[in-house]
Structure 1
Amino acid sequence: MNHLQRSNAGEHTPHGPPVILRHDLPASFVLFLISIPMSLGIAHATGAPLMAGIISAVIGGVVVGALSGAPLQISGPGTGLVVIVASLVAQFGWAATAAITLAAGVLQIALGLTGISRLVMSLSPAVVQGMLAGIGVSIAVGQLVVVLGGTAAPTVPANVALLPGELAQFQPGPVAAGAVAIAVLLLWPRVPRASLVPAPLVAVAAATALVHVLHLDVARVDLPDSHALVFPEMPRGSAGTVVTAVVTVALVASMESLLSAVATDRLHDGPRARLDKELVAQGTGNVLAGALGGFPISGGLARSSTNVASGAKTRYAAVFQGVWIAVAVLAFAPALELIPLSALAGVLFVVGLKLVSISRMRNLLQHRELLVYAATATGVVLFGLLEGVVAGLAVALLRALYRLTHCSVSVEGNRVCVRGSLVFLGVGRLVRELRRLPLGQTVVLELHIDYLDHASYEAIDDWREGYERLGGRVQVDEVHDSWFDRADQGKPGRHKTLPGPLPRWFAPWSHWQGTQDAVTLPAQRSSVEQSAASDPMLRGMREFERRSAPLVRPFLHELAVRGQRPQQLFITCADSRVVPNLITTSGPGDLFCVRNIGNLVPMASAGDRSVGAAVEYAVEILNVSTIVVCGHSDCGAMKALVTGSASRGSHLHSWLRNAEPSLIRFHAPTSGGCADLPVADRLAVANVAQQLDNLLGYPSVREAIAAGTLTLKGMYFDISNARVYLVDPDRNGLEPVHSPA
């Protein structure tokens, strides 16, 4: 089940008291310890009242957390809004900025109700993961400055510039507290049963205890003395300036929240975010924050990633942390002020580094998406969140444009194979290759394309007319679609082909065998090529490589990685006219097949090792749910049984002795089914029924049937009519396979 399919399942995730007490409650304490200094720091960096950050942290936890469409996302003062809010405070003052925040919240609610937030799901995973890495680096660099005893700047370049000075003015107190917190975070998971207590909580407690015992000189959490609220006032200025400010705050806060929600989804396996609902919740929070003089709210990846890392499972972690912040600021301010800032910085430093995932980089490198990842991460680090996302999107769009307009052209003799999308940007290369072909030959233009524009059609058609005018012949062979043929009939396709289910069987023998003489290979041919010209199997192998392999490669790659997991053991005859995957519409990895003369399952007491081993392997190792025995019409083995034509002493005669119980069953008085069939075909049906009985002689089969994990089915294939029937073993009769209504 993919992320989108699981999105609606979130509301049904168990969230009873055991889950809340074991996971959400401890996580909320960790969030509470981290949110207070972050909220105060963000407010201080913009010139806003310190209490504005606390107000937004409480509202972001209690209100937005309760309404959120992303249960594990933590909202509070928006880190991506620091520069914007700072300019608004300088231009309008804080009371007017609160009014702008309120109006931005109303706009966010309106946007959420329109469903526009779903566009965020179109983002490339490389962009989202690059954003995660960029924010992680930004967090780590900024918090490293705090660990060294300094005050973090708002940008990464500024923080990097501060590092040499902080190192030169080495402060043992902050460094010791931060180092202890970092060490505990890294080592705590190795402690037995350590998951019962969150590592960040232990890290902060250990660092605080160290500072207290050694009386180290460190900066501690500083809560505001005044609890006065600042109520919103109408901004003074032109309407255009105010509207621009409202739209800017709304869009930046929304984008940060939605991107954070999508990124947070990649950190856990719980319910997926419902982005429309999340945007409405963020807007509601900003309306309340603006009305009470709070800082603009957005979802924060630093807090959200900490929430996930601390083991939170539901939205109650966010709600509780908002409650703890309110209670702590009102009642326990002196105790909180004992916590060293460098200890909290150490926690965030490790959280930031964990967002830079080496495994994600390897995966993106394999999929050739590392450039998008690097562009996004670099942009976030050097310029900011939105700038980084825009940079990543620009690179992703350029790469997508290249891929959508790029086609591959390969020439083998006088066969030209084109794959991809054939548009005017790539047609020049194709025409150059076509013009290099020798004149007067029969050329096959093989098109494996998913789009053909008018310019490309005209170019190919012009070359074809010219080539045939000079005595050559051109055969256009479209494999997966008919773009060229439709254009040739004056009915060109207007859109790319909608992806449908790929065929499960890919052997187009009648197609390529019928045109084998239309293509000639170069005069200097290898021995393999010379053999392929006359050997149908080698021709088939070449055509598999050319046509079928690209279709089945994804399936086979997955099967190679995950191993085979067939659900059926399919026992059938070695007759070349019986193709199991064809008559069952199955593909690679679906059927575990055993084929022999007469589709026989020798009795367990007969001492046969081959079929018995396959049955045991399928039942005991592969855990198949069904065993099918399939007979067929015009079976040579059944004819040999009826006529006794197998030479005594031959391997065939010895093998067919395993079918003697089928003969006895066939001549039994109760065997009255299929009276209208020829004798050999009636015997084939009775033979299938007998093999089902023989299977019951294998202990593993009996045990699986008794446990309800295995069923046996008989099947009969009428070759001449291409009909498949089920075998009724009680009367040795046939039942049609009815199509579902």
Structure 2
Amino acid sequence: MLRHDLPASLVVFLVAVPLSLGIAAASGAPLMAGLIAGVVGGVVAGAMGGSVVQVSGPAAGLALVVADLVSRYGWPATCMITLLAGGLQMMLGVLRVARTALAVSPAVVHGMLAGVGVVIALSQAHVVLGGSPHASALENIVGLPGQVAREHGEAVLAGLLTLAVLIAWPRLPQRVRSVPAPLAALLSAAAAAALLGWEVTRIDLPASLSQWSAPVWPQGDWHGIAGAVVLVALLAGVESLLCSVATDKLHDGERTDLDRELTAQGAANIVTGALGGLPVAGVIVRSTTNVRAGARSRWSTVLHGVWILLFAVGLGWTVAFVPMEALAALLVFIGFQMVNVGHVRNLHGHREVPVYVATLAGVVLLGLAEGVLLGLGLAALLALRRLTGVTVRARPEPCGRRWHVLIDGSLTFLGVPRLTAELRAVPAGTEVDLELNIDFMDNAAFEAVHAWRQEHERGGGTVHIDELHDEWYTMAASGARLFPAKTPPRIPDRWWLPWSHRRRRGRAAGVPAPVRHPAQTAPDDLMAGATEFHRRTAPLIRPVLHGMARVQQPSHLFITCADSRVVPNLITASGPGDLFTVRNIGNLVPRRGMTPADDSVTAAIEYATGVLGVRTVTVCGHSGCGAMAALLGGKGTGELPGLDRWLRHGGPSLARFVADGVSGTGHAEGGTGEGHGDGGGDGLGGGGPLDRLCRLNVIQQLDNLRTHPRVDRLVRAGELELVGLYFDIGTARVHMLDRTAAPDAAPTATI
């Protein structure tokens, strides 16, 4: 294990030393306090922690808090606050409440860290430019143009060189980048300043060590002191726990015990506070470096702390060669890196960017605590809005004499204005189907719905209420006592999943599938499926089937392929009684009088148009059709004579495909996508020969339908419509084809 952890610990050590010194400088603490925190974070938190690869130490996210505490109470009192915060963290860890910290919105945490980064960068930019930082971020922003315009000395070159190395380092060859960028930047600035004789501000680490003193009790209002202890404990604890969760995603080893990790962080803060170090927290930069360097156990973290201790004792004098301006430039770079664009991108998908921006702006303009509280408040408001959100849609049915109203979500008093506005759009005297798909309804919402229903029915209309989720309205109308809790959502039926997927979903993680003989699979699946139908679906659909038990009245004749991946009712969202379905290999419609004769499809066409009175005949093809692949191959199966005879009915499609290619009328390279024979792309324009033939085959079958006299007569009379559909299996999209256009042209509609 050490053959992996030893080199990883050296890499983390080289990253940790400059960062520890820089964070100490940004915090207004003695520089040695940063190294002490690095040692304690590595040895104590690393040995006791619940994460095997997380690296703890001084964190940039706490720099503003520490700087404020130092200016308010002094450095020795700040150490006591750190010690007390560690005790609070240990108590919370023992009480096993660590997972509660994960309830804090990541948008608030990332916004806080980004705000801290901006504040650090703004303040240290003044140091890089030869000035002094102001008391607030706003003053630093206002004063920065004037600072830039001033005359600068040679010290500025050290800072600019540091920034240049940090920016360029990721673009250098891998062999060069084996040296950590912060270390390379500081070494470059120190070497340049020494060789060129630049007048720079030097770091005096021995003087920093002489500033050490024992922790003392803070003087001042105890409310402020208690608040400072809680703030340090919570910020350091939340940052450490979130870092642990993020680090777990980077390796395949043992997962983090969050309560143990929080207890270890508390112990480390007690020790670092007693020794005069900065507060300790899990740090994502060092933890990520540790994982990428190949660390396998907590020995890497512990050893990196040992290396920092040996450096501080034996090589601390080397720090005097590092210009303070270079250290400030490193902090400017770290500050801007804390504004992570990747986090903003992830939050955008969940509509939490306003929380991130509000927290960042609050930290920069108001202060750390104020910004965090602002972010938490906005996150709570947005969560409340989502939890009580409701969708109300009132639309007329195609006939115009009936309206459909859908109310979806949590129906509370907050949604009453929108609810009443939509319901007012329903004309008086109409028949209304009101669907309530709600998980909660309070009294104000019930009264609004009930009053509208009574008024509508008094005006001559009717209201049919169908509660899809739970009977909130029915219970309220009957005077039954309602429980305040929301109804838990029902687990959706996965009837559309293949049997194999449902078996896999139903098994517990790590439980192997039962071994079954292949001959037993199909009967078992069919019986299990029938049992599931009886248990879940039959009670819901029984009233519908009972009403159509004696007669069927489908509106569509649907001709499609026998391919098992094409499920007509699934891709058209239709139910029992909607489709009169014919399935065969290749979704073929034999032309009238073609040999060999086949009356099965003809019989279905005659029965659907002559007896059932369907108004639409649809031919649906699909991507990667095996029948069309056989036609393109041009060879019979030999061993399947029946299939060979049947595929002769695809001859007109193949002839049309060949003629289209010879004449150049097709648009094989145009269209709207890149369909492929394996079902990829959108299956329309630009596909390979197989998918072009699949689409053209649908158009040809529509023409074949017109060879049947009854169909042709009904189409001419406007009593029957022929429709071509194409199902792209890879993208699960259904497209409507235009039979008058070239086969590779764009569809008339994407359904």
TM-score using structure 2 length: 0.61
2:438 aligned partner: 449
Give me the whole-angstrom Cα distance separating, in 1, the residues matched to 2:317 and 2:144.
31
1:211 aligned partner: 193
In structure 2, the CA distance between the partners of 1:230 and 1:355, relative to structure 1 (3 Å rule), is closer
**Contact 1:24–1:312 at 8 Å: present in 2 too?**
no
1:611 aligned partner: 626
Shift of 1:61: 3.1
In structure 2, the CA distance between the partners of 1:256 and 1:159, relative to structure 1 (3 Å rule), is farther
Number of aligned residue pairs: give it: 537
2:232 pairs with 1:252: yes
Question: Residue by residue, what CA displacement relative to the aligned partner does 1:590-641 show, whole Å, maximum 9, x if unpaired?
Answer: xxxxx74499xxxxxxxxx9527879xxxxxxxxxxxxxxxxxxxxxx9x99
Shift of 1:474: 0.9
- Name the SS for the 2:433 alignment partner: strand
Question: Residue by residue, what CA displacement relative to the aligned partner does 1:122-144 show, whole Å, maximum 9, x if unpaired?
Answer: 22232233223222222322332
Give me the whole-angstrom Cα distance separating, in 1, the residues matched to 2:555 and 2:64.
65
Give the alignment partner of residue 387 of structure 2, picking from 404, 407, 414: 404
Give the alignment partner of residue 106 of structure 2, picking from 125, 147, 154: 125
**Contact 2:57–2:281 at 8 Å: present in 1 too?**
yes
**Contact 2:45–2:268 at 8 Å: present in 1 too?**
yes
Shift of 1:264: 7.3
2:504 aligned partner: none
Give me the whole-angstrom Cα distance separating, in 1, the residues matched to 2:17 and 2:354.
37
1:494 partner amino acid: P
In structure 2, the CA distance between the partners of 1:571 and 1:177, relative to structure 1 (3 Å rule), is same
In structure 2, the CA distance between the partners of 1:245 and 1:322, relative to structure 1 (3 Å rule), is same
**Contact 1:36–1:325 at 8 Å: present in 2 too?**
no
Give me the whole-angstrom Cα distance separating, in 2, the residues matched to 1:208 and 1:360.
34
1:478 aligned partner: 467
Give the alignment partner of residue 23 of structure 2, picking from 38, 45, 64: 38
In structure 2, the CA distance between the partners of 1:59 and 1:253, relative to structure 1 (3 Å rule), is same
Give the alignment partner of residue 406 of structure 2, picking from 417, 436, 457: 417
Question: Residue by residue, what CA displacement relative to the aligned partner does 1:272-325 show, whole Å, maximum 9, x if unpaired?
Answer: 764433321222123223433x14513275865885798585655653443333
Question: How high is the sequence identity, in percent, across the aligned residues?
Answer: 37
1:23 aligned partner: 8
Give the alignment partner of residue 178 of structure 1, picking from 140, 159, 162: 159
Give the alignment partner of residue 89 of structure 1, picking from 73, 83, 95: 73
**Contact 1:27–1:312 at 8 Å: present in 2 too?**
no
Give me the whole-angstrom Cα distance separating, in 1, the residues matched to 2:231 and 2:121.
26
- Name the SS for the 2:434 alignment partner: strand
1:79 aligned partner: 63
Over the residues paired in the alignment, what is the CA RMSD in angstroms? 4.6
Give the 5 Å matches for 1:98-137. 98-137=79-118
**Contact 1:451–1:496 at 8 Å: present in 2 too?**
yes
Segments of 5+ residues of structure 1 without an aligned counterpart are 1-15, 518-533, 541-569, 583-594, 600-608, 616-637, 655-741
- Name the SS for the 2:58 alignment partner: strand
Give me the whole-angstrom Cα distance separating, in 1, the residues matched to 2:177 and 2:425.
69
Give me the whole-angstrom Cα distance separating, in 1, the residues matched to 2:102 and 2:256.
10
Shift of 1:103: 3.5
Give me the whole-angstrom Cα distance separating, in 2, the residues matched to 1:114 and 1:263.
21
Give me the whole-angstrom Cα distance separating, in 1, the residues matched to 2:644 and 2:47.
83
Shift of 1:181: 1.9
- Name the SS for the 1:504 alignment partner: coil
Give me the whole-angstrom Cα distance separating, in 2, the residues matched to 1:360 and 1:247.
29
In structure 2, the CA distance between the partners of 1:250 and 1:354, relative to structure 1 (3 Å rule), is same
1:385 aligned partner: 368
Give me the whole-angstrom Cα distance separating, in 2, the residues matched to 1:158 and 1:138.
11
Give me the whole-angstrom Cα distance separating, in 2, the residues matched to 1:313 and 1:366.
33
1:32 partner amino acid: V
Give the 5 Å matches for 1:24-423. 24-39=9-24, 42=27, 45=28, 52=33, 54-69=35-50, 71-76=53-58, 78-83=62-67, 85-86=69-70, 89=73, 94=76, 98-153=79-134, 155-193=136-174, 194-225=176-207, 226=209, 230-232=213-215, 241-242=221-222, 245-246=225-226, 248-259=228-239, 261-262=241-242, 266=246, 269-270=249-250, 274-292=257-275, 294-295=276-277, 297-299=279-281, 304=286, 307=289, 313=295, 315=298, 318-413=301-396, 414-423=403-412
Give the alignment partner of residue 488 of structure 2, picking from 489, 498, 511: 498
In structure 2, the CA distance between the partners of 1:458 and 1:31, relative to structure 1 (3 Å rule), is same
Give me the whole-angstrom Cα distance separating, in 2, the residues matched to 1:279 and 1:648.
74
1:698 aligned partner: none
**Contact 1:574–1:598 at 8 Å: present in 2 too?**
no
2:63 partner amino acid: T
Question: Residue by residue, what CA displacement relative to the aligned partner does 1:460-498 show, whole Å, maximum 9, x if unpaired?
Answer: 223323433443221112334443344445264532233
2:608 aligned partner: none
**Contact 1:39–1:57 at 8 Å: present in 2 too?**
no
Give me the whole-angstrom Cα distance separating, in 1, the residues matched to 2:377 and 2:246.
22
Give the 5 Å matches for 1:419-434. 419-434=408-423
Q: Which moved more, 1:356-365 or 1:337-346?
A: 356-365
- Name the SS for the 1:276 alignment partner: helix
Give me the whole-angstrom Cα distance separating, in 1, the residues matched to 2:44 and 2:316.
23
**Contact 2:201–2:325 at 8 Å: present in 1 too?**
yes
In structure 2, the CA distance between the partners of 1:250 and 1:421, relative to structure 1 (3 Å rule), is closer
**Contact 1:379–1:388 at 8 Å: present in 2 too?**
yes
Give me the whole-angstrom Cα distance separating, in 2, the residues matched to 1:537 and 1:128.
56
- Name the SS for the 1:356 alignment partner: coil
1:129 partner amino acid: H
Shift of 1:216: 0.6
In structure 2, the CA distance between the partners of 1:143 and 1:103, relative to structure 1 (3 Å rule), is closer
Give me the whole-angstrom Cα distance separating, in 2, the residues matched to 1:290 and 1:360.
32
Question: Residue by residue, what CA displacement relative to the aligned partner does 1:688-733 show, whole Å, maximum 9, x if unpaired?
Answer: xxxxxxxxxxxxxxxxxxxxxxxxxxxxxxxxxxxxxxxxxxxxxx
Give me the whole-angstrom Cα distance separating, in 2, the residues matched to 1:355 and 1:167.
23
2:700 aligned partner: none
**Contact 1:483–1:493 at 8 Å: present in 2 too?**
no
2:488 partner amino acid: L
**Contact 1:647–1:653 at 8 Å: present in 2 too?**
no
In structure 2, the CA distance between the partners of 1:435 and 1:188, relative to structure 1 (3 Å rule), is closer
**Contact 2:434–2:466 at 8 Å: present in 1 too?**
yes
Give me the whole-angstrom Cα distance separating, in 2, the residues matched to 1:22 and 1:614.
57
1:721 aligned partner: none
1:123 partner amino acid: V
Give me the whole-angstrom Cα distance separating, in 2, the residues matched to 1:493 and 1:114.
32
Shift of 1:255: 2.0
Shift of 1:416: 1.4
**Contact 1:28–1:307 at 8 Å: present in 2 too?**
no
TM-score using structure 1 length: 0.62
2:434 partner amino acid: L
1:26 partner amino acid: V
2:606 aligned partner: none
Shift of 1:436: 4.3
Give me the whole-angstrom Cα distance separating, in 2, the residues matched to 1:402 and 1:282.
36
Segments of 5+ residues of structure 2 without an aligned counterpart are 397-402, 498-536, 548-552, 574-582, 588-623, 631-639, 652-751
Give me the whole-angstrom Cα distance separating, in 1, the residues matched to 2:491 and 2:11.
47
- Name the SS for the 2:374 alignment partner: helix
1:722 aligned partner: none
Give me the whole-angstrom Cα distance separating, in 1, the residues matched to 2:648 and 2:202.
90
Give me the whole-angstrom Cα distance separating, in 2, the residues matched to 1:648 and 1:318.
73
Q: Which moved more, 1:50-59 or 1:128-137?
A: 50-59
1:279 partner amino acid: L
Shift of 1:266: 4.7
